[in-house]
Structure 1
Amino acid sequence: MKMTMMESLKEARGEICLRLSAILVLVLTACLVAFDSQTKVILYITKKATYNDLEALKILVYVTSAAAVYNLLQICKHFVSGYSGGKYNGYLLYLAWLCFLLDQVGVYLTFGTNTAAAEAAAIALDGAKAMMWMKVCDKYRRFCVQIGVALLCGYVACIVMTVISCVSAYNLFRLYSSSSFLRLKATR
């Protein structure tokens, strides 16, 4: 069954909407973490809590920013392929594999860094008596609440990127014939 141009356009619009929502949530996560700070005066000493105090939060900002840029580049790819008029159909399979693998890497990196930041935030919340780390969230409550909201947004971004990865897998494997394992469909 040959896919019509209208069905292909609807799929591209759906993927663009998913990628735009992923960009929105990823940028929101990065901004909530990066711009969060709280200053307290403790015994005449001014102390400030920022995302730089915890290495996992710093890495979370970098990875979510990179994932947002990657999704923006994927949106640009749709616009370029729309204007090319099918000139690059010979590279479609390679591009589909590359997009599929990069989408997988993006999901795993985003989920991994978000989970590492959540673990570090849990230690900051409860402390670690064995290592004599004190509870940080008793002093910087607003900072910790905003980091918690950012981590929640990060997990929402992971879910959206997982759906994007499923769409990317569909776009890749529909290029292969269903009658034999990983054999390309005949082009007409």
Structure 2
Amino acid sequence: MRGGVGVSPGNVPVYFYGGGKVKLVERRVKVAEVVLRCLICGLGVIAAALVGTDSQVRRIFSLEKRARFTDMKALVFLVIANGVAAGYSLFQGVRCVISMMRGSVLLNKPLAWAIFSCDQMMAYVALAAVAAAAESAVLGQFGQAELQWMKICNLYSKFCTRVGEGIVSAFLVSISMVTISCISAFNLFRLYGPNKGKNSGSW
């Protein structure tokens, strides 16, 4: 019987696994996860490097004022969050590649829950970091007349441009982390299906 349980001549249960289409989908999910984790790792490093190394000196009369990312707590949070996301994705990407090479299957529900929870947490952190940084960038670009906050990007245009590039990279990281969390949710909850992971090809 295809996709179910059969009985061999010796009355030993025999499992028949879904077919080529299921395996093809599982393979594509595996490849997509590896690609996304590598993408997060690269973009996270880029975002952290762009913002973390950004600075500009502005001379005002006889005084020199240097703008750094540490002057805005939201940018500090962005750098830390993307650095952590890059390191975490590198670790998980290596795990996925090793699992693919060994052909191992994730049947351990506690491990699946741990991966799912970590992916969810990283997605929330990445989204919070990019949202806070984007809000600070808007204030820097347009100011806030009601509170007499000036447009600092008029003075530090180079600094703001590079921060904007870092925020774009961080935004792509957050979107990729959300996608990864959906994949890990798929890998987890399929273990609770009718076959309970017997035909699962996820990690």
TM over 0.5: yes
User: What is the deviation of 1:32?
Assistant: 0.9
User: What is the deviation of 1:81?
Assistant: 4.0
1:18 partnered with 2:18: no
Instruction: Give me the whole-angstrom Cα distance separating, in 2, the residues matched to 1:122 and 1:12.
Output: 38
1:50 matched residue in structure 2: 68
Instruction: Give me the whole-angstrom Cα distance separating, in 1, the residues matched to 2:119 and 2:23.
Output: 25
Name structure 1 gaps, 5 residues minimum.
Answer: 179-183
1:106 matched residue in structure 2: 122
Superposed CA offset, 1:64-105 (max 9, x none): 10111111111232245457775x966x21111111111111
Alignment match of 2:193 (pick from 177, 180, 183): 177
1:2-151 equivalences in 2 (<5 Å): 2=17, 7=24, 8-81=26-99, 86=104, 92-151=108-167
Distance 1:186 1:136, change over 3 A: closer
TM-score (norm 1): 0.84
Identity of aligned residues (%): 33
User: Which structure has the larger Rg?
Assistant: 2
Distance 1:45 1:104, change over 3 A: same
Instruction: Give me the whole-angstrom Cα distance separating, in 2, the residues matched to 1:154 and 1:60.
Output: 8
2:10 matched residue in structure 1: none
Instruction: Give me the whole-angstrom Cα distance separating, in 2, the residues matched to 1:155 and 1:29.
Output: 9
Amino acid at match of 1:185: K
Amino acid at match of 2:128: G
TM-score (norm 2): 0.78
- Could you say what the CA RMSD is over the residues aligned between the two structures, in angstroms? 2.4
Superposed CA offset, 1:19-60 (max 9, x none): 001111111111111111111111021111110111110111
Amino acid at match of 1:164: I
Instruction: Give me the whole-angstrom Cα distance separating, in 1, the residues matched to 2:112 and 2:184.
Output: 7
Contact 2:34 2:97 survives alignment (8 Å): no
Distance 1:41 1:71, change over 3 A: same
2:9 matched residue in structure 1: none
Name structure 2 gaps, 5 residues minimum.
Answer: 4-16
Contact 2:190 2:197 survives alignment (8 Å): no
Instruction: Give me the whole-angstrom Cα distance separating, in 1, the residues matched to 2:123 and 2:197.
Output: 32
Instruction: Give me the whole-angstrom Cα distance separating, in 1, the residues matched to 2:114 and 2:197.
Output: 21
SS at 1:134's partner residue?
A: coil
User: What is the deviation of 1:11?
Assistant: 3.3
Contact 2:85 2:122 survives alignment (8 Å): yes
